[in-house]
Amino acid sequence: MRPRVHALAVPSELGEFADELRQVFQDLGRTTSNEGLAGECSPAVDIYETDESVEIIADLPGVDRSAIRILSKGDWLLIAGEKPPRRVRAESSFHLVERDYGRFARGVRVSRACDMSSASARLANGELRVSLPKLPDRRGIVQQIPIKDNSH
């Protein structure tokens, strides 16, 4: 039986990426204050593990690929960007608004050893899928260590 994935999505713990997040929002044309690092909306995220990888899926309908940045640092992955508000015709008005828009930032701490340099991401049908290939778990591998003869 495969152990449970030990990944945690923590939208409020973005301290590891404070400088990078400011740069992402600046690149997207927005400035931030220290209070505004977490963003204005929080897309839903699913995290699961397969035999080969840790998979992260974020709901980002209506978000263009150019408005998303994915960064990794240590055992953290950051998905940040901006979701544009829905445009309505001039003669229309909203009666109810439940879908979030604005800046977003989701920090995901991945406790499983992954090869971040081989990570891949794709955006299709409103879902961002990030795949983090797992590194082999060296704790389960038994290796014999040879003893050198120092008598000579």
Give 112-119's long-range contacts (Cβ < 8 A, gap of 24+): 112/5, 112/6, 112/7, 112/49, 112/54, 113/137, 114/53, 114/54, 116/72, 116/77, 119/70, 119/72, 119/77
- pLDDT tens string 126-148: 999 999 999 886 666 666 666 77
- More confident call, 52 vs 149: 52
What domains, with CATH codes, occur in the chain?
7-86+97-136 (2.60.40.790)
User: What is the reported pTM?
Assistant: 0.68
Q: Which residue has the higher pLDDT, 91 or 102?
A: 102
pLDDT for the residue numbered 14: 59
* Lowest model confidence (mean pLDDT) among 17-31, 37-51, 53-67: 17-31
